[in-house]
Amino acid sequence: MMKQVLIYGLFFLSLAGFAQKKDKHLAQGNDDFSDKGYSSAEAQYRQSLAQSAGNSAAAYNLGNAIYRQNQPGEAKYSFAKAIKSAQTKEQKHQAYHNLGNSLMQEKDYSGAVEAYKNALRNNPADEQTRYNFALAKKMLKDNPPKQDKKDDKKDNKKDNQKDQKQQDQDKKDDQKQDQNNDQKDGNQDKKDNPGNQDQPNEPKPKPGGISKERLQNLLDAVNNEEKKIQDKVNAKKVKGRPVQTEKDW
């Protein structure tokens, strides 16, 4: 039931909500999206964004195309970008709504609640958003974040460590009276300042990374677009050649 609601919510806020000045890549992407050619649509939307980084329509539609390829984790970054560049409340409402859908798919119910809440702030009358908002709150209640329990354990552990540290410090203070000050200071410096150890550089995950398979699909879509353009140019060249009226002997 939840999956059906989320899919319906995505199509309810369709591409038509972001009308903007003429953009051939945006228009072609919309046509490809309507034909369920989501990889081709993604390529077109990316080209549109390359020409105009603040194109909220391209960012929003790119999020939809990526979402339809079962990549909600990547789609949410495009929706967030669309929110930043949105010009109207309705545009923000749609982008926040689909951001909520992406977060629901990732089971980030807390984030989804906030996204739907912001969507309703921009359009309080939308019943679909209101329904998804209620659903997200229920899922959050039924699935409370596990991080809260971990935080409690960490806090308790920190408190115990502080108590133990204070006890150890008291013992050290008692021993200071019977030790040579110079030797004491040297030993204490070694204990308190063991030196900084180089930490291995761990690779950071890249948000919104593209899989190898989807990257190939994008390249194929771009190559197909270039082939179409080249075919049109060649057709014009053939059409412009003079026609011979006499035979060559």
**What is the mean predicted confidence (pLDDT) over 154-160?**
65
60 with 94: CB under 8 angstroms?
yes
**What is the mean predicted confidence (pLDDT) over 18-32?**
82
Can you give the pLDDT at residue 140? 95
Q: Which amino acid is at 75?
A: A
36 with 55: CB under 8 angstroms?
no
Query: Residue 130 class from Cβ within 10 Å (0-12 exposed, 13-18 middle, 19+ buried)?
Result: middle
96-135: per-residue pLDDT in tens? 999 999 999 999 999 999 999 999 999 999 999 999 999 9
For residue 97, report the phi and psi dihedrals to the nearest 5 degrees. Answer: -60, -50
H or E element that contains 67: helix 56-67
Can you give the pLDDT at residue 196? 47
In a domain, 101, yes or no: yes
In a domain, 110, yes or no: yes
Q: Residue 36 belongs to a domain with what CATH number?
A: 1.25.40.10
In a domain, 114, yes or no: yes
pLDDT band at residue 79 using 50, 70 and 90 as cut-offs: very high
Q: Domain residues for 90?
A: 2-10+21-142
d(CA 249, CA 247): 6
In a domain, 147, yes or no: no
In a domain, 209, yes or no: no
Structurally, how many domains does the chain consist of? 1
Q: Report how far Cα 249 is from the mean position of its chain's Cα atoms.
A: 69
Can you give the pLDDT at residue 247? 38
In a domain, 192, yes or no: no
In a domain, 124, yes or no: yes
179-238: per-residue pLDDT in tens? 655 565 555 555 555 444 444 454 444 555 667 777 778 878 877 777 777 777 676 665
212 with 36: CB under 8 angstroms?
no
Can you give the pLDDT at residue 229? 73
For the chain, strand residue ranges (E) read none
In a domain, 183, yes or no: no
**Residue 96 structure tokens:** 């926040």
